[in-house]
Structure 1
Amino acid sequence: MTQATVSPARRTETAAQLRRGRILREVRSILRHLLLALLAGIWLVPILRLLVTSFSTDRGINVRRFFPASYTISNYVNILFHPDSVAQFPRWFTNTLVVACFNCVISTCFVLMVAYTLSCCRFKGRKLLQNLSVIVNLFPGVLAMIAVYFVLKYLNLTNSYAGLIMVYAGSSGLGYLICKGFFDTIPVSLREAAKLDGASDARVFFQVVLPMSRPILVYTIISSFMVPWTDFVMAKMILNSGLSADWTVAIGLYNMLQKTLINNYFALFCAGGVLVSIPISILFVIMQKFYVEGITTGADKG
């Protein structure tokens, strides 16, 4: 049936259906965005409470009102420049930064090496090794806490940053899946051409694969840095000497929430929570482009 033979009533009905479909799509889009805005608002409420309380003149926890009666920056000044026996934030920050930097370097090397081996090398038992690593990853790391603690105690590595870094970095190679997915997208012909020219696997890795893997490299670095920065369970188990100067940020801030301390240190706790988030936020904003590209490309298995 040509357009000339279509009746005016049929054309009017078709136009009305198109308008109704367009309006329905717009309504659905508005509802989806409203739902997302509501969820974002709910997610931001605790962060906003943490931020405004960090500027509160009330040192203790206040459950009567959301916003404080008056504001001050003395909480940030005290936690940064006037540490006491309870709040030693500069020392905690330094401890956490040292552990995070060492773990970042070691874990990134482990993840990249494991991912390259399982993606670009062919050897007997490769599939079995991949399957076993995936199965092991299904179990949370806290299940091995007691065994890890006694091993470190036998080696005299409890209450030491070396033992903590070993725990963080020791199993980091199991997190190779996203990195391997990225390496799988690199053309095999490039590696084969390099090997035909006499390049070893190490040279192929450093001069061919890594220069093309900047997004996944950034993603791996950020992920490795964030593990010790936000961890509490493993750090509390290993650094259990009771000396507050040896704690990481997570342990120190948690200690401020004790029943005997919270009425005097809750505002300082909130200020410390804001300060802890600043380095990670800056790092993420700067590297966001490569971080997202690393995740999305690494999820493509071709």
Structure 2
Amino acid sequence: MAQRHRIPGQLSRGQSILRGIVLAIGAVLFLFPFYYMVIGSLQAAPDTSLGGIFPSPGNITVENYANINERINLFSGLVNSGIFTGGVLLGTTVFGLLVGYALAVLEWRGRGVIFALALLVQVVPFQLLMIPLYVMIARDYGLGDTHLGMILPFAINSTAVIIFRQYFLQVPKELFDAARIDGAGEFRLLWQVAIPLVRPALLTVILLTFIGPWNEFLWPFLITKEASLQPLAVSLANFISNVASSTSNPFGAMLAGAVVLAAPVIVLFIVFQRYFVSTDIGSGVKG
């Protein structure tokens, strides 16, 4: 009987089983907090015992969602979070693409200094800039209690600039030279040649940027005083601080708000996670 040779780097059957078991355990440990959050939000009476992980059907209710919605209006909070996050996404994507393209593709004096400054911004904590930003936006520009006042400090993201620059550097320069020979201007070249080839970077920036403003609390809390303008993260924090104790099940109501806040992020990642590992850069050049 011929002996079967294993391909170098290929796992044996036992190793594959062991890897599957380890990955399954890791997945369970990672997903358990989300499961517990959903289950806790559906419990009529909080059950902190071990049996509460699998509650009885009689203890399941959606009353917690109704209770928190009566106090902070979940839909209004979601709309404000969507406006805030959408504005940040728009600014981050547009400015990130333009600056990243200019730093990677165009030849101009001082681009190395600008890139170094973009790297330097990474080490400056936002909390250090918060007070002067508040004074400038709220007092000088008069944008307190406005969506624009929330969006402006996050409209340009140096992380997005760096990501786009690195992706544009991987695009073969022959593609840009060929497009210029055909008469394409820089904006047309960016739109029709560069952006389709760095689609994974575009989606990565959108996903990473989405999580930040969607969960942002401190700046929207500082710049907005009107409850009708506050994102859901701020409304939920105010609920926990001020009125949670007045509900019949504050634990369940807080978890219900957390579920509503986390759901869009989870759905977005599930839908687009496959794009993290895809790339089309090599498809534009023949070997």
What is the TM-score of this pair, normalised by structure 1?
Answer: 0.77
> Is 1:165 matched with 2:148?
no
> Secondary structure at 2:190's aligned position in 1?
helix
> Is 1:215 matched with 2:200?
yes
Report sequence identity in percent. Answer: 27
> Is 1:57 matched with 2:44?
yes
> Secondary structure at 2:72's aligned position in 1?
coil
Task: Name the structure 1 match of 2:236.
Answer: 253
Superposed displacement of residue 222, structure 1: 2.4
> Is 1:287 matched with 2:272?
yes
- Alignment CA distance shift 1:260-1:206 (3 Å): closer
Superposed displacement of residue 214, structure 1: 1.9
| Counterpart-to-counterpart distance in 1, 2:241 and 2:251 | 10
Query: Which of these residues, 84, 88, 92, is aligned with residue 77 of structure 2?
Result: 92
Task: Name the structure 1 match of 2:5.
Answer: none
1:286 alignment partner AA: V
- Alignment CA distance shift 1:179-1:226 (3 Å): same
Query: Cα deviations across residues 44-100 of structure 1 (Å, max 9, x unaligned)?
Result: 332222111111002xx6545543551112333555xxx33x321111011111222
Query: Which of these residues, 178, 185, 194, is aligned with residue 193 of structure 1?
Result: 178
Matches within 5 A, 1:1-302: 37-58=24-45, 63-64=48-49, 66-67=52-53, 68=55, 70-79=59-68, 83-84=69-70, 86-154=71-139, 155-169=141-155, 171-239=156-224, 241=225, 243-258=226-241, 261-262=244-245, 264-293=249-278
What is the TM-score of this pair, normalised by structure 2?
Answer: 0.81
> Secondary structure at 2:30's aligned position in 1?
helix
2:37 alignment partner AA: L
| Counterpart-to-counterpart distance in 2, 1:287 and 1:102 | 20
Greater displacement, 123-132 / 223-232: 223-232
- Alignment CA distance shift 1:101-1:191 (3 Å): same
Superposed displacement of residue 27, structure 1: 8.0
Gaps (5+ residues) in structure 1? 1-24, 298-302
| Counterpart-to-counterpart distance in 1, 2:127 and 2:21 | 38
| Counterpart-to-counterpart distance in 2, 1:124 and 1:270 | 53
Greater displacement, 252-261 / 192-201: 252-261
Gaps (5+ residues) in structure 2? 1-11, 283-287
CA RMSD, Structure 1 to Structure 2 (Å)? 3.0
